[in-house]
Amino acid sequence: MMNSFATKAARAAFIDGRLAELYPETPIPLDHRDAYTLLVAVLLSAQCTDKRVNLVTPQLWALADNPNDMRGVPVAEIQAVIRPCGLSPQKAKAISGLSQLLVENHGGQVPRTFEELEALPGVGHKTASVVMSQVFGVPAFPVDTHIHRLAQRWKLTEGSNVVQTERDLKRLFPEEHWNQLHLRMIFYGREHCTARGCDGTVCGMCRELFPERKRAIKVRK
């Protein structure tokens, strides 16, 4: 019998529909008030859980919650507050530096292009993609560790890196679904198809897509 999920396109269509049923609402997991606070929160979330970031940011916003005030806060003070998020020396320096540049070059506003965002200290393509998609509504597909893992387990990519995975996912899914779908994949990856709780044979989606699969899938970083 022909596997109805034999092609990437068939798997993508099924995944898109199933995740939309599971997660009709897609709230942003990072607490924020505006574009600036989301930008800083996403920067802090590198190699740190969103949960921990949400515990730390209220103390950071008490110091400053806008670029004009933040650029006046000593880097050491920023670092002391954000230490639980890890990589605090680099992140504190980046927060201070990007705040200064936002005031100097962008009138204190978060810019609305990938190029301008990625020119800011500590802001890579993934961080820029989150801000562009979730604040400005521009279609983007930020790939984090959860999405990279799921895309491999669900055979949507041969991606040996997140750049390739992002490219493959953008080809497979309708552009108007990207902004919600990337969050839905993160939610599913955290709750069901986890790094340790599933190996490609355990969670509902893996079993449904690959009923014949017997061996664990080794995920490439």
126 is catalytic: yes
Q: Which residue in 151, 188, 153, 189 sits closest to 167, CA to CA?
A: 151
d(CA 2, CA 218): 25
d(CA 30, CA 57): 9
Q: Which residue in 115, 176, 190, 110 sits closest to 140, CA to CA?
A: 176
Q: Are 128 and 117 in contact (CB under 8 A)?
A: yes
Catalytic residue of the set 31, 144, 155, 170: 144
Characterize 212-221 residue by residue with b for buried, 16 or more Cβ atoms within 10 angstroms of its Cβ, and e for exposed: eeeeebeeee
221 is catalytic: no
When computed from its CA atoms, the radius of gyration of the chain, rounded to whole angstroms, is 19
Catalytic residue of the set 126, 170, 199, 221: 126
d(CA 126, CA 47): 13
The residues carrying an active-site annotation are 126, 144
